Structure 1
């Protein structure tokens, strides 16, 4: 039986029942694909359902403030995805453009890469284009015995051409989803349920016992250590000082507190001196309130939260003009990175 036919027959009996598979609405599929970038399916489902409930249409999303969009995304991580999704909705609304129905049109928008564009184009619009993600690389490298490094562009192009030739031209969306599920259910990273695989009679890795070797993925990774010192500042009305992160860095678009960052750990006396010079702030003797170690993909953050005395004549302090103050009962309306959320919960502010 033809490869694609076997894959599709298996999928129809074994597919994962996921909420975004109950529709071909391109907006819903777009939301799910953005969320699934670098996030597990199990963690995505709750966020997807809440997001769709809050922003049921592309128009509703476009009309919403970025802060509210990020608030719904809070805890899901990789917040640039939410910013790009929101930007996509706004561009379509402002330019009065209907939802793009071609792969080449979709990938023109920031945040929609080759995989996401192919998934939407094939599932929603039946375009014959391979959606090549980690599952696809794993399935095809093992099935065909491909030892080329999948991080190389030439290897990615080779996979694209090979898979395109093997696709079911009548059911490209189902084919792409079948490959995703085969890689997620049977042909996983560390466990291979080869006896249940619909294509085990012609698999290179099963015949040669090489599943543990493939795919080849060699990446040079360097980890950066960053030291964050957040200062908790209140005005005379006990409102707390917040900052919107706007620079091209982690957590862009989210909110935090006045910050001093260092490449190394700072001793308490040096820290007090730095805060005095930069903020004209007097820290309490019992300075540290809370600390946390937070790991990102290529970074490790060592974060400490520090207390200070209430500042007199705050409105005359030029430095604080770039920040703003909110009352404690309004804090939960703002989207924060996870370390800040944990701190606010620890202090019972949310």
Structure 2
């Protein structure tokens, strides 16, 4: 039995029962693929179900405010994915009939890379195209003994050529999903379950006792950026608190407290002066209430939360830059994880 028949037969009987596999609705598959970028399957399921319930169609998503879309994404991270997804729905004017049906059309849209485009094209529209992600590179490099650096552009094209010859032309979507599952269940980076793998009898790495030598990948050198955040949790006379919409950098589009970023420790007076200058806020009794270290991709954030009371709030350039909300309104706004942790610590949510 050839490779593709073997893995497809295995998949039909043993595939992971995931909610997005109950449909071929391209919009639903698109949502799942966006969520699965940089995120484990186990962490994605709840978010996917809630998102589809809230925005069941492309039209519903296109009609939503960005704030509400990001709120459904809250806690999942990599928020640019949600913004790209929302932008995609608006470009198509919420019309499912305009949904791109080929790989080449799909990858024209921001957020849809080669893997996501190939996955949607093959699963939803039966296009014969390999969907090659980290799992697939690992499976094929081990199975075939490919010793070339998988970060190389030449190697990536080589993989596409090789896998295109192996893919099942009748059911390319099932073939791609079978590779995903084999990589996730058996051919894992560590503690691979080789003896249970459906293609173990013809695997190069098993025969040559070299499973963990693949895939070959150049070690990427990068520096970790250290940033120091001072979030100021400000109450007004009515116990409402102040939030700002983040317009750039990490967490763009989410909401946070007035933020002062610094390269050094600041005194209370320095914080107060910056609040006056940046936000035109005058506050009193600044107290450190919570601190944490938060890691994101290639960055470490050292965050301190300071509690205080607002004495003056005026002369802002735009009312939308900074505003006060009541405790009852807090659930309407999407916040980054550190803010959520602080709000839980303060028993506000």
TM-score normalised over the length of structure 1:
0.94
Counterpart of 2:341 in structure 1 is 342
Q: Cα–Cα, structure 1 residues 320 and 91, in superposed 2: closer, same or farther, change >3 Å?
A: closer
Is the deviation greater in 202-211 or in 93-102?
Answer: 93-102
Distance 2:94 2:34 in 1: 21
Counterpart of 1:220 in structure 2 is 221
Shift of 1:235: 3.0
Alignment of 1:173-188 (within 5 A): 173-188=173-188
Counterpart of 1:78 in structure 2 is 78
1:161-220: CA deviation from partner (whole Å, max 9, x where unpaired): 111111011110000000000001111110222222222222111111111111122222
Question: Given that residues 226 and 264 in structure 1 are in contact (C-alpha distance below 8 angstroms), is that contact kept between their aligned partners in structure 2?
Answer: no
Alignment of 1:154-173 (within 5 A): 154-173=154-173
Counterpart of 1:5 in structure 2 is 5
Unaligned runs of 5+ in 1: none
Distance 1:294 1:195 in 2: 39
Counterpart of 1:32 in structure 2 is 32
Shift of 1:278: 4.4
Shift of 1:94: 6.7
Shift of 1:318: 5.8
Shift of 1:331: 1.3
Question: Given that residues 286 and 308 in structure 2 are in contact (C-alpha distance below 8 angstroms), is that contact kept between their aligned partners in structure 1?
Answer: no
Q: Secondary structure at the residue paired with 2:92?
A: helix
Shift of 1:237: 3.1
Counterpart of 1:207 in structure 2 is 207
Q: Secondary structure at the residue paired with 1:93?
A: coil
Distance 1:317 1:309 in 2: 18
Number of equivalences: 348
Confirm or deny that 1:261 pairs with 2:261: yes
Is the deviation greater in 31-40 or in 315-324?
Answer: 315-324
TM-score normalised over the length of structure 2:
0.94
Question: Given that residues 114 and 131 in structure 1 are in contact (C-alpha distance below 8 angstroms), is that contact kept between their aligned partners in structure 2?
Answer: yes
Distance 2:195 2:277 in 1: 68
Unaligned runs of 5+ in 2: none
Distance 1:111 1:203 in 2: 34
Is the deviation greater in 96-105 or in 47-56?
Answer: 96-105
Question: Given that residues 292 and 304 in structure 1 are in contact (C-alpha distance below 8 angstroms), is that contact kept between their aligned partners in structure 2?
Answer: yes
Confirm or deny that 1:323 pairs with 2:339: no
Counterpart of 1:153 in structure 2 is 153
Q: Secondary structure at the residue paired with 1:30?
A: helix
Q: Cα–Cα, structure 1 residues 281 and 25, in superposed 2: closer, same or farther, change >3 Å?
A: closer
Alignment of 1:35-50 (within 5 A): 35-50=35-50
Shift of 1:127: 0.2
Question: Given that residues 256 and 339 in structure 2 are in contact (C-alpha distance below 8 angstroms), is that contact kept between their aligned partners in structure 1?
Answer: yes
Distance 2:261 2:41 in 1: 34
1:211-266: CA deviation from partner (whole Å, max 9, x where unpaired): 1111122222321111100112233333211111112x110110001111123443
Counterpart of 2:59 in structure 1 is 59
Question: Given that residues 281 and 308 in structure 1 are in contact (C-alpha distance below 8 angstroms), is that contact kept between their aligned partners in structure 2?
Answer: no
